[in-house]
Amino acid sequence: MTRYVEGPVRVSVPATSANLGPGFDSLGLALTMRDELEAEVTGSGLVVEVTGSGADAVPRDESHLVVRSMRAAFDAMGAQPPGLRLSCANVIPHARGLGSSSAAIVAGVVLARALVAGGTLLMDDDAAFALTARIEGHPDNVAPAFYGGFQISGREDDFYSVGSPVDPRVEAVVFVPPTPVSTEVARGLLPADVPHADAAADAGRTALLVAALASQPEHLWRGTRDYLHQDYRRPAMPESLALVDALRADGVAATVSGAGPTVLAFTDASGAPALTARCPAGWAAHHLHVDRDGARVL
């Protein structure tokens, strides 16, 4: 018989930036901006409370992404509770390319596992991560949200993720525009095929980016040059790509974050203030660090 823990469980999950330029659908980095969620098993029903980003738009029923992810995890453990109460304090901007959906999915799976007595025995980390990736459909955001740090992920027979080091000098400024762009719209602009030379150039830049992040940040500008996806998405986010162009023209390693429209620029502690000052009017700039922890049960 399934036993559930008494009282609420709290979980914190970081924002993430995927692609990082050339690493399309394979590279992801966790950042120090976190959603916090709390859940507990109740006698019946479902109560969903949401504050912060997206609070006016997300549902409060079984279709809520965190709830759906919790249900999938409970199913995987053979343990659907009689009732649930969920409270979400959202900080990660929605539909801005900072992994809000992946954070919700990871939070749901981690919450469900923590609510079941012996949940980590029923679902280890590899199984929990694979479930989050199946729900999301691709692993590049859920991997760093779950594991933290810099993750290189993909799919063979199942999803995999391999952590890679990040030089402690590497920090980031993200520029968040006021208007969202859906991932579906951004993906819809991508062609079915790309020139072989562009694919080869992107592969080389991706390898360089891994090395640059690990220990040679002086190569981040060259390592973040993309040939596969950003320019194709320009019609959906012209202001974002204009900012990327302007920053890169000044030697800043800037990219579109995930599917956009947020722009991420790599920097160090000394360069962050001047970079933050370049935030366009009406946008929000956040100086962030690499989050090494991933999802945490508090």
Residue 184 burial by Cβ neighbours in a 10 Å radius (0-12, 13-18, 19+): exposed
Answer yes or no: is 87 a known binding residue. no
17 is in an annotated binding site: no
Check whether 12 is labelled as a binding-site residue.
no
| Residues 292 and 150: beta-carbon distance below 8 Å | no
- CA torsion sign, 141 to 200 to 217 to 242? negative
Helix (H) / strand (E) element for 146: namely helix 142-147
- Consult the annotation and say whether 98 binds a ligand: yes
**Per the annotation, does 103 bind a ligand?**
yes
288 neighbors 171 (Cβ within 8 angstroms): yes
3 state DSSP class of 83:
strand
187 is in an annotated binding site: no
Which residues are registered as beta bridge partners of 267?
171
Question: CA distances (Å), 111 to each of 39, 50, 132, 277, 292, in order?
Answer: 7, 16, 12, 38, 20
Whether the bond into 217 is cis, omega within 30 of 0? no
Q: Is 163 annotated as a binding residue?
A: no
99 labelled ligand-binding: yes
Residue type, 192: A
66 in helix, strand or coil? helix
Amino acid at position 175, single letter:
F
- 94 labelled as ligand-binding? yes
101 assigned ligand-binding residue: yes
Q: Has 261 been labeled as part of a binding site?
A: no
Which residues are documented as binding site for ATP?
Answer: 93-103
Which residues are documented as binding site?
Answer: 93-103
